[in-house]
Chains A and B, each alone.
Chain A
Amino acid sequence: MPFKSSKGKNNGKLIEISQSDRSNLGQNIGGGGGSAAPPGIALISATGGTETTVTTPTGKYYKTHTYLTAGSFTFSVSAAEPTATVNIEMVGGGGSGQAGYGDGNGPGIGGGSGAFSIVQNFPVINSPGSYTVTVGGGGGSTSFSGATFSGPTVTATAGGGGVGGQGNFSLTDPTGLITGTVSSGSANRFPPGSGSGPGPAYAGYSDSAFLYPTPLQPAGKGNGAGGGCPTCGPPPGSPGGMRIYYRVPAP
């Protein structure tokens, strides 16, 4: 359910910052001693997750923070220009399959995938600069385990896939600061399995949906159905995941 909002477009322009200030800020940003950012790139210095620097074929530089472990973590922003934003890809945990019904030999149901969502131009600030990243574990047969990115102003959530269920996506933005696009992969309802057949890797996944060149596989993969084993339930789906990334100056 994509939507665009132009509300609060000028909210970030509260502080003018000089080019010399940008040069000083750039020294500590981008994974180590970068130069000043080109015009149009708002500088950010942050830690958290598995951090990488990436050079694209077109010569742009990004810093990424990837979270693939289920649990609660912190994305810490120590410095950010007033208009600084990040892009976020998040996937809820995959649902478990369901064991076969009856004596266990009946057809089971494949686990649903976690919802996949992209939030572009998510505003970040450095005071307070602590954001909570929650990655849902693979769901059991009845539970949902979503992924959540929450900060001082905005919370985004990608729901996990339940057994036979759908993930979901929601964004709470009471300040209207989101000025970019929010895309939601509406969770695909997988076909019921017949003792096999996990849900797709992501709900709502498509190659064109990703802004970033490599997907967050295997986050959010639903698990296959059980069947024929009345005493052992199918294992849970894969945990969800999250990737936060933003442009940085050339190293």
Chain B
Amino acid sequence: MLKIKILVDIDSNISINFLKDLINHSNLPNAFSGECEISVSIKKSTNYDNLSFGYQLKNNNIIINEIEKPDPNTLYIRSDQEFIDIQLLELLSENDYELIFWCEESGKKSEEIFTFTSPSPYPTV
């Protein structure tokens, strides 16, 4: 089983930072589908002002997953949690991916692109 964890860290200035962490991997069948965990961390303790964020995940320039938060008719107020949102995505091994992440609050918007290649299955690495 393979698992990649990508932490999206948004600071109080709505700047986006990515941190990739390959947790573990082991032998996988040829038709393996791995998991990618995208955890959104927002370092801001004061009340949110119309906070929203989202991403597109692309594989070979094709959007394979897209999400926008908060859900419709929902408004973020505040949070004391390390992670405000966690998503698990299915990935193929040894594929190139592009994660386009955006965040907006108080009319200020940031966008960053993170590219990565999913790991090879054991024992080919």
Binding site for B on A (CB under 8 A): 31-32, 47-57, 66-69, 71, 73, 97, 99-100, 104-105, 195-196, 198, 213-214, 217-219, 221, 223-229, 232-235, 238
Contacts and interface: CB of A to CB of B under 8 A. Distances in A.
A66 B86 CA distance: 12
Nearest to A53: B75
Contacts, number: 109
Given A47-B78, A51-B77, A71-B82, 6 more contacts: A50-B81, A53-B75, A55-B74, A68-B81, A104-B27, A234-B26
Contact of B73 (A47, A49, A56, A66): A56
Contacts of B82: 69, 71
Interface in B40-77: 70-71, 73-77
Contacts of B24: 232-235
A97 B1 CA distance: 8
Contacts of A218: 37, 86-88
Given A68-B86, A69-B83, A196-B28, A31 B77 contact: yes
Contacts of A31: 75, 77
A12 B88 CA distance: 41
Interface residues of B, number: 32
B81 A52 contact: no
Contacts of B26: 99, 104, 226-229, 232-234
Given A50-B84, A218-B86, A232 B77 contact: no
Contact of A195 (B23, B28, B86, B123): B28
Given A218-B86, A232-B122, A50 B23 contact: no
A131 to B, nearest CB: 14
Nearest to B24: A235
A54 B27 contact: no
A136 to B, nearest CB: 14
A227 B25 CA distance: 10
A207 to B, nearest CB: 16
B32 interface: yes
B81 A235 contact: no
B46 to A, nearest CB: 12
B11 interface: no
A68 B87 contact: no
Contacts of A227: 26-27
A201 B25 CA distance: 20
B27 A229 contact: yes
B25 A52 contact: no
A138 B64 CA distance: 26
A238 B123 CA distance: 25
B13 interface: no
Contacts of A235: 1, 3, 23-24
A166 B89 CA distance: 24
B79 A196 contact: no
Contacts of B23: 235
Nearest to A100: B27
Contacts of A71: 82
A228 B27 CA distance: 5
Nearest first, the 9 closest Cβ-Cβ pairs linking A and B are A228-B27, A229-B26, A224-B1, A50-B79, A218-B88, A51-B77, A235-B24, A55-B73, A69-B82
Contact of A68 (B27, B74, B85): B85
A48 B80 contact: yes
Given A69-B83, A235-B23, A238-B86, A214 B32 contact: no
Contacts of A221: 88
